[in-house]
Amino acid sequence: MPRKFICLLMILFLLTGAVGCGFFSRETPQEELPDSEQDSEETLAHLRKTVFYFVNERGFLVPVTRDIPWVEGIGRAALESLVDSEELRIELAEKGLRAPLPEGTQVLGMTIRDGLAKVDFNSNFLQSPDLEAEQNAIDAVVYTLTEFPSVDEVQILVEGKQIDKTPNGNQLKEVFKRQNINLERPVAASPDLVPVTLYFKGGSSGGSFSYFVPVTRMIPKTDNQIKTALEELIKGPAEDTGLVSLLPKDTKVLDVLQNNGQVLVNFSKEIEGYGGGIDVEQSIVNSVVLTVSEFPEVETVSIQVEGKAGALPEGTVLETPIFKPLYVNPDSL
pLDDT digits (tens, 9 = 90+) for 186-196: 777 788 899 99
**Model confidence over 95-136: pLDDT tens digits?**
999 999 999 999 999 999 999 999 999 999 999 999 999 999
pLDDT of residue 21: 36
User: How many domains, the chain?
Assistant: 2
Q: Are 128 and 198 found together in one domain?
A: no
pLDDT of residue 23: 26
Q: Are 200 and 154 found together in one domain?
A: no
Q: Are 197 and 319 found together in one domain?
A: yes
Point out the domain boundary residue: 109, 133, 158: 158
Select from 50, 61, 55, 46 the least CA-distant residue to 88. 55
Q: In what order do the strands lie in the sheet with 107-113?
A: 107-113, 116-121, 153-158
pLDDT of residue 332: 56
Beta-carbon contacts of residue 63 (< 8 Å; ≥ 6 apart) = 51, 52, 53, 143, 211, 212, 214, 328, 329
pLDDT of residue 30: 39
**How many whole angstroms separate alpha carbon 333 and alpha carbon 64?**
10
Angle between helices 225-235 and 278-293 (to 10 degrees): 140
Pairing state between β 116-121 and 153-158? parallel
Point out the domain boundary residue: 99, 131, 158: 158
Q: Are 198 and 317 found together in one domain?
A: yes
- Residue 26 domain-assigned (yes or no): no
Q: Are 203 and 313 found together in one domain?
A: yes
- Residue 139 domain-assigned (yes or no): yes
Q: Are 201 and 79 found together in one domain?
A: no
pLDDT of residue 325: 85
- Residue 12 domain-assigned (yes or no): no
pLDDT of residue 73: 87
pLDDT of residue 326: 83
Cβ contact 43:310 at 8 Å: no
pLDDT of residue 185: 79
pLDDT of residue 276: 77
Cβ contact 244:236 at 8 Å: yes
Q: Are 224 and 308 found together in one domain?
A: yes
- Residue 291 domain-assigned (yes or no): yes
CA distances from 188 to 78, 166, 215, 238, 289 (A): 35, 22, 18, 18, 29
Range of the domain at 289: 193-323
How many residues are given for the chain?
A: 333
Continuous segment of H or E residues that includes residue 228: helix 225-235
Q: Hey, which residues does 198 pair with through a beta bridge?
A: 215
pLDDT of residue 205: 87
Q: Are 223 and 304 found together in one domain?
A: yes
Average pLDDT value for the chain: 87
Q: Are 112 and 197 found together in one domain?
A: no
pLDDT of residue 207: 84
- Residue 46 domain-assigned (yes or no): yes
Q: Are 201 and 142 found together in one domain?
A: no
Q: What are phi and psi of 286, to 5 degrees?
A: -65, -40
pLDDT of residue 43: 46
Point out the domain boundary residue: 105, 133, 158: 158
- Residue 277 domain-assigned (yes or no): yes
Q: Are 154 and 222 found together in one domain?
A: no
Q: Are 197 and 154 found together in one domain?
A: no
pLDDT averages per 10-residue partition of the chain, 333 residues: 43 37 32 41 69 96 93 91 97 94 98 97 97 97 96 98 96 94 82 94 90 96 97 96 96 96 96 91 96 95 95 89 90 60
pLDDT of residue 63: 97
